[in-house]
């Protein structure tokens, strides 16, 4: 993206935003799930830099070795800051859940979403027990563009510090914060599937392409074939996942309908 950002100032502004929220609601702890990706690495580091008690939670769940390695790398990076590091192994718990609901485990999508929701439950249990809040790690493309998150899973959070930043901007902020280069360079993946598919393979477009579609795509009059394909992909996901990105529909009982 071409937005000009002072990342030193941005870092301070986000940290102050978190501090103000915490002070307003008398919150004691920030709880962040650390997946090994750049988004959670940046958010957990920002939280730690506030000076507020921060719990960084690794939640391996049938995880690929490379994902666990990156998660552990970020947890190690956080060890020099004001952070309590916790690892909660969820593989056995999820297997027990699958056994209990065995007649419905044939859906790979349902299983992937349930993994994300189990992690959400874990984070909220820790947050409630520590008078804390769950801090979201979604970026702008995922949260407001293509809806690439699990409803009531990784989308279930209390605050979202980087939800107005594109993925490329999150990476740049990560560089400023000193996030390990291995994490910055890692291919984005949600780690919820049994195979090796990554985020961009699931969507069918790169984050750079999705950012272009979100920022500029509807402003052009003429498109190349490739641009049109990218825009179609973006619009397809935006429409399909719109229910995640808007408020829950509420039936409105109008006053003149009350007898």
pLDDT top residue among 80 and 55: 55
What average pLDDT does range 93-102 have in this prediction?
92
Question: Are 80 and 48 in contact, with CB atoms under 8 Å apart?
Answer: no
Express each pLDDT in 200-233 by its tens digit.
Answer: 989 999 999 999 999 887 777 778 899 999 999 9
Q: What is the pTM of this model?
A: 0.92
Tell me the C-alpha distance between 156 and 31, whole Å. 13
* Mean pLDDT computed over every residue of the chain: 92
pLDDT at 187: 86
Tell me the C-alpha distance between 120 and 113, whole Å. 11
pLDDT at 1: 60
Does 256 have pLDDT greater than 70? no
The residues pairing with 55 across neighbouring beta strands, listed in sequence order, are: 31, 84
């Amino acid at each position: 993206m071409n937005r000009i950002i002072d990342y030193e100032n941005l870092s301070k502004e986000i940290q102050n935003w978190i501090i103000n929220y915490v002070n307003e609601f008398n919150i004691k702890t920030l709880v962040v799930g650390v997946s090994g990706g750049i988004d959670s690495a940046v958010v957990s580091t920002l939280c730690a830099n506030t000076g507020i008690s921060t719990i960084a939670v690794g939640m391996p769940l049938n995880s690929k070795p490379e994902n666990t390695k990156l998660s552990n790398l970020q947890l190690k990076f956080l060890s020099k800051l004001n952070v309590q590091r916790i690892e909660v192994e969820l593989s056995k718990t999820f297997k027990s859940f699958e056994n209990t609901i065995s007649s419905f485990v044939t859906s790979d999508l349902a299983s992937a979403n349930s993994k994300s929701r189990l992690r959400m439950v874990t984070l909220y249990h820790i947050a409630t027990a520590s008078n804390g809040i769950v801090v979201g790690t979604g970026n702008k493309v995922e949260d407001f563009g293509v809806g690439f998150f699990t409803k009531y899973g990784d989308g279930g959070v209390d605050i979202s510090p980087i939800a107005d930043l594109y993925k490329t901007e999150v990476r740049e902020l990560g560089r400023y914060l000193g996030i390990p280069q291995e994490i910055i360079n890692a291919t984005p993946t949600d780690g919820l599937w049994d195979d090796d598919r990554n985020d961009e393979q699931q969507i069918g477009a790169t984050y750079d392409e999705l950012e272009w579609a979100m920022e500029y795509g509807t402003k052009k009059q003429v498109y190349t074939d490739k641009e049109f394909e990218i825009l179609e992909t973006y619009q397809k996901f935006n429409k399909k996942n719109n229910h995640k990105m808007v408020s829950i529909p509420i039936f409105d009982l109008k006053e003149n309908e009350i007898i």
